[in-house]
Structure 1
Amino acid sequence: MIIFDPLRDFFHRRQATKLTEQASAVQLVIERSESLRGNFVFPGPDITVAIQRDGQHVGRVNYGVSPLNDRVYISDFHISPAHRRRGIGLAALWRLWCQYLVPLTPMHEVGTSTEFWAKVRKRFAGAGAKLTHDIRTSDQDAEQQRWLHLVPEPEHERLIRELEASPEWPSIKAELKMRENNKGR
């Protein structure tokens, strides 16, 4: 055991307790939760939650849970301008992390929010939690490949695939081509 491990663990627990106390004033209220084919995390759920403080709507988070349950992808994060710079965004993200206990990943960081995300990364790291760097649109396909094996095949695509693999397929294909050619005359 490394001598600094107990010291690091002490400070992680201390920072986590501090973040949990700050987050106690914030509630996440689910507005929508659905799993739609074509969405980034399909077959995982896409969720929209309202951020509330003292019963007042102060922001919103749209996120998706990886089908592997190993990451939460934050696609949209917004705190109302009147409520910014009060720790509400950090508290909402901490609540989200506490709910899933997996790394949070912003889908794209815009220039105006890089300072916020850097601060959140630093505070989360101090508590032993992880906020990964954002993934760009170009990286999304590679990310989806990790759970592609979990995406159910639609019934009609399965039937077409089975038909094309059958021994009768060459004759069916030839007949379809002949019908198509006859329509063009």
Structure 2
Amino acid sequence: MKILFSPWSRITSRSLPVVDVRLSIQEGPQTFVEPNPDFRANILNGSMQEVGTAIFGKSPLDDTIYVYQIDVYPQHRRHGYALAFLSWLYSEHHLPVTPVHIVGNALGFWSAARALPDQMLIVSKELRLSEMAAEKTAGRI
């Protein structure tokens, strides 16, 4: 079935909310993107109120950003903050974003992210948890 109209096709950088991102290094065991660290992002709205968090890492090959988790707090969901965060990631690093293990309730969100114009965001194919070891040993990371 061909989709003739998608509400996501009208999203522009002007229609996304303004976000500020505060980064810290995610402490813990060995990371998938080692020797690079994983980062914890606190996502703030234009009023500098925290609206969510995310965890991501930059590939050691400098070819993608792996997004492990995005959590927008319930009272701030469906306002575009997660898409604005992904757009921020893309503008900061100029690398495609690769979601790691998309769970069922996030499929619509990642479909919307893929529908954004390429100048705002490029989303690569999902990396499943079961594929992570093979990705690393194949030298793609």
CA distance, structure 1, for counterparts of residue 27 and residue 34 of structure 2: 6
Pairs within 5 Å for 1:49-88 = 49-53=41-45, 54-88=47-81
Q: Which amino acid counterpart does residue 114 of structure 1 have in structure 2?
A: L
**Aligned residues of 1:34 and 1:47 also touching (Cα < 8 A):** yes
Identity among equivalent positions (%) equals 29
- 2:39 is matched with 47
- The change in CA–CA distance for 1:71 and 1:118 in structure 2 (over 3 A counts) is same
Note the C-alpha offset of 1:45: 1.9
Q: Which amino acid counterpart does residue 119 of structure 1 have in structure 2?
A: A
**Aligned residues of 2:17 and 2:80 also touching (Cα < 8 A):** no
Larger Rg: 1
Note the C-alpha offset of 1:132: 1.0
Q: Which amino acid counterpart does residue 100 of structure 2 have in structure 1?
A: M
TM-score between both structures, scaled by the size of structure 2 = 0.82
- 1:140 is matched with 132
Q: Which amino acid counterpart does residue 108 of structure 2 have in structure 1?
A: E
- The change in CA–CA distance for 1:70 and 1:102 in structure 2 (over 3 A counts) is same
**Aligned residues of 1:22 and 1:91 also touching (Cα < 8 A):** no
CA distance, structure 2, for counterparts of residue 88 and residue 139 of structure 1: 29
- The change in CA–CA distance for 1:74 and 1:101 in structure 2 (over 3 A counts) is same
CA distance, structure 2, for counterparts of residue 60 and residue 67 of structure 1: 23
CA distance, structure 2, for counterparts of residue 108 and residue 143 of structure 1: 14
Q: Which amino acid counterpart does residue 66 of structure 1 have in structure 2?
A: S
**Is structure 2 residue 84 aligned with structure 1 residue 91?**
yes
Q: Which amino acid counterpart does residue 19 of structure 2 have in structure 1?
A: V
Higher RCO, 1 vs 2 (CA within 8 Å, ≥6 residues apart)? 2
- 1:38 is matched with 30
Could you list the structure 1 runs, at least 4 aligned residues long, displaced by more than 3 angstroms after superposition. 21-24, 34-37
**Aligned residues of 1:28 and 1:50 also touching (Cα < 8 A):** yes
CA distance, structure 2, for counterparts of residue 88 and residue 129 of structure 1: 14
- 1:123 is matched with 116
- 1:114 is matched with 107
Gap runs ≥5 in structure 2: 1-9
- 2:3 is matched with none
TM-score between both structures, scaled by the size of structure 1 = 0.63
- The change in CA–CA distance for 1:129 and 1:26 in structure 2 (over 3 A counts) is closer
